[in-house]
Chain A
């Protein structure tokens, strides 16, 4: 079935790094744009980044630009989020999501269950 499974979350100290992965199955991964979205405890959804189906274009929220990098490996059906210079305020559940489009943000019909990232000393 169509599925996204995130992994790589955990506890990291402020200033540290973490790489999240999102394994896709059940659809043609290489045909769709992909997002990362997070939800901090008690807060709403926050969009973080989007990558085209080709992997050639990336877009970021100001809050993570320069610190986070979205990437994909279409041969492995996997999306990544490299997170550097992590801050306490980055603590959240991180979701990957499949867009309906390949290079436009038309709406995300498939979401993973999320992976928790805690930034704490």
Chain B
């Protein structure tokens, strides 16, 4: 199972909005609404930010939103803050009953 495709890095200034894409196939992202997004600060446990494409867990800021179109899912962070600087990973359930992660995107807040 190939990893989902994410940009290696994105950046933005405080207050701006950024979007991270996550491209898969009809066998994963395009075929199921089980796409999740995780925030990962080095040395810490990953944190679930979005599940089932667009749902936010309790306690996650509404500045984080998720969507999907075809085989590509997206995470948008609005009102960028310094604390948002981290690595972000998407994941998707697949047609062969496995889970696949994206390669990760490093977000830099300028």
Residues of B within 8 A of A60 (CB): 98
B50 contact set on A, CB distance < 8 A = 107
Is B21 located at the chain interface by the 8 A CB criterion? no
Secondary structure type dominating chain A contacts: strand
The listed residue (A47, A104, A106, A109) touching B101 by CB distance below 8 A is A47
Which residue in chain A gives the minimum CB-CB distance to B36?
A107
Report the minimum CB–CB distance from B48 to chain A (whole Å).
5
CA distance A119 to B99 in the complex (A): 25
**Chain A residues with CB under 8 A of B102:** 44
> Which residues does chain A contribute within 8 Å of B101, judged by CB atoms?
37, 44-47
Q: What is the minimal beta-carbon distance from B57 to any residue of chain A, in angstroms?
A: 5
Task: Among A45, A62, A104, point to the contact of B104 (Cβ < 8 A).
Answer: A45
Which residue in A105, A111, A113 is a CB contact (below 8 Å) of B99?
A105
A102 adjacent to chain B (CB < 8 Å): no
* Residues in B neighbouring A44, C-beta threshold 8 A: 3, 87, 89, 101-104
Interface size of B by CB at 8 A reads: 27
Q: 25 A-B pairs, CB-CB below 8 angstroms? A: A37-B101, A44-B3, A45-B101, A47-B98, A47-B99, A50-B98, A50-B99, A59-B98, A95-B46, A104-B93, A105-B34, A105-B99, A106-B34, A106-B51, A106-B52, A107-B34, A107-B36, A107-B48, A107-B51, A107-B52, A108-B36, A111-B45, A112-B45, A113-B45, A114-B45
Known contacts A35-B99, A100-B51, A113-B44; 20 additional CB pairs below 8 A are A37-B101, A44-B3, A44-B104, A45-B46, A47-B98, A50-B99, A59-B98, A61-B1, A105-B93, A107-B36, A107-B50, A107-B52, A107-B91, A108-B36, A108-B48, A109-B51, A109-B57, A111-B45, A112-B45, A113-B45
